[in-house]
């Protein structure tokens, strides 16, 4: 049993996302809590939320990996940006809570010259602010490619943030294969070694979701350019090894490849048929 799906648009509402994903052959998906470039989040009618909740249970979907907007930067050097980011973060967590037990995935942020130590404190502070007793959502820090001043460019940087979180049981990590590869980890020739390193620094139980992407760039490029499965520098075989790795079974795998629906359906089919 694999949970596989792709990033989908929320524009037709919540239930439409579930039904649409089934049509592509998937059984999990990701969507943006609001326009990825920011802006206000449209209120979703309660009946649509309930309809999706029922649909996910009935169709045995895996946990969703909801994505926070890119404009959110919890460790910006500008205080006003940190403030609206924290507001987005709290609001988006409340929205994801309407669908109990899912993941809310976010980019740690870019420190814009402040340096990692300041940034990691700000990110952990924001996490500590939004997490409250009784919530069911797990927050996922995404490992980044290390473009510009991105925080979370390696496993140590992710671990350093989690160390400062109070409710550690409510925080995990999203392992983006494109980011990890461009961050300098050789998942092509030494996936076991990379996962061992992840385990040593963060703990493998914290690896709760995977973004399954090929990369347009060679290892260590730090550029973050996703490619279709099999058309990039990671390649189909290495990505299938990720999907089949014994330590990663049961995790939701989300495609963020540059595709239309037909392309996503083909990638989902490829992965399902590899089992
Ligand atoms: Fe992401
Ligand atoms: Fe990603
Ligand atoms: Zn990316």
57-92 tens-digit pLDDT: 999 999 999 999 989 999 999 999 999 999 999 999
Identified catalytic residue from 7, 153, 211, 251:
211
Task: Say if CB 224 and CB 147 are below 8 A apart.
Answer: yes
Identified catalytic residue from 111, 256, 264, 267:
256
pLDDT value at residue 43: 86
pLDDT in tens, 19-33: 999 999 999 999 998
Q: What's the gap in Å between 273 CA and the centre of ligand 1?
A: 26
pLDDT value at residue 164: 98
Task: Say if CB 119 and CB 109 are below 8 A apart.
Answer: yes
pLDDT value at residue 15: 98
Q: How far apart are CA 157 and CA 152, in angstroms?
A: 5
* Entry pTM: 0.97
Beta-carbon contacts of 206 under 8 Å, excluding residues fewer than 6 positions away, are 162, 171, 172, 173
pLDDT value at residue 38: 67
State mean pLDDT over 131-154: 98
From the CA of 178, the nearest ligand is 3
Q: How far apart are CA 210 and CA 254, in angstroms?
A: 6
Q: How far apart are CA 177 and CA 248, in angstroms?
A: 13
Reduce the DSSP state of residue 252 to 3 states and report it: strand
Identified catalytic residue from 21, 150, 176, 227:
176
pLDDT value at residue 37: 75
| Phi, then psi, of 7 in degrees rounded to 5 | -80, 125
Q: Any catalytic annotation for residue 179?
A: yes
Q: Any catalytic annotation for residue 222?
A: no
pLDDT in tens, 159-174: 999 999 999 999 999 9
Task: Say if CB 210 and CB 175 are below 8 A apart.
Answer: yes
State mean pLDDT over 169-187: 98
Reduce the DSSP state of residue 203 to 3 states and report it: coil
CA nearest 118: which of 157, 86, 80, 146? 157
Task: Say if CB 250 and CB 233 are below 8 A apart.
Answer: no
Please state the separation of Cα 242 from the chain's center in Å: 16
Evaluate if residue 124 carries a pLDDT over 90. Answer: yes
| Token duo for residue 152 | 């979370």
Q: Any catalytic annotation for residue 142?
A: yes
Q: What's the gap in Å between 77 CA and the centre of ligand 1?
A: 21
Q: Any catalytic annotation for residue 14?
A: no
Q: What's the gap in Å between 211 CA and the centre of ligand 1?
A: 8
Q: What's the gap in Å between 95 CA and the centre of ligand 2?
A: 20
Q: How far apart are CA 55 and CA 12, in angstroms?
A: 16
Q: Quickly state the pLDDT bin for 41 (edges 50, 70, 90).
A: confident
């Amino acid at each position: 049993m694999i949970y596989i799906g792709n990033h989908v648009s929320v524009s037709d509402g919540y239930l439409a996302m579930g039904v649409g994903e089934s049509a592509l052959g998937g059984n999990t998906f990701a969507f943006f809590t609001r326009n990825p470039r920011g802006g206000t989040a449209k209120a979703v009618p309660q009946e649509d939320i309930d309809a999706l909740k029922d649909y996910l249970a009935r169709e045995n979907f895996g946990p969703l990996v909801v994505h926070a907007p890119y404009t959110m930067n919890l460790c910006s050097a500008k205080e006003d940006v940190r403030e609206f980011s924290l507001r987005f973060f709290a609001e988006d967590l409340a929205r994801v809570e309407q669908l109990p037990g899912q993941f809310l995935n976010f980019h740690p942020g870019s420190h814009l010259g402040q340096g990692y130590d300041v940034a990691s404190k700000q990110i952990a502070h924001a996490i500590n602010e939004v997490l409250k007793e009784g919530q069911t959502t797990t927050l996922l820090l995404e490992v980044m490619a290390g473009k510009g001043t991105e925080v979370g460019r390696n496993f140590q940087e992710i671990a350093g943030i989690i160390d400062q979180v109070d409710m550690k049981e409510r925080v995990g990590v999203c392992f983006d294969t494109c980011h990890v590869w461009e961050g300098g980890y050789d998942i092509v020739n030494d996936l076991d070694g990379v996962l061992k390193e992840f385990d040593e620094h963060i703990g493998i139980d914290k690896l709760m979701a995977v973004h399954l992407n090929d990369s347009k760039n060679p290892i260590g490029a730090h550029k973050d350019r996703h490619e279709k499965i099999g058309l990039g520098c990671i390649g189909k075989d290495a990505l299938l090894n990720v999907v089949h790795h014994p330590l990663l079974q049961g995790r939701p795998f989300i495609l963020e490849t540059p595709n239309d629906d037909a392309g996503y359906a083909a990638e989902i089919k490829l992965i399902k048929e590899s089992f």
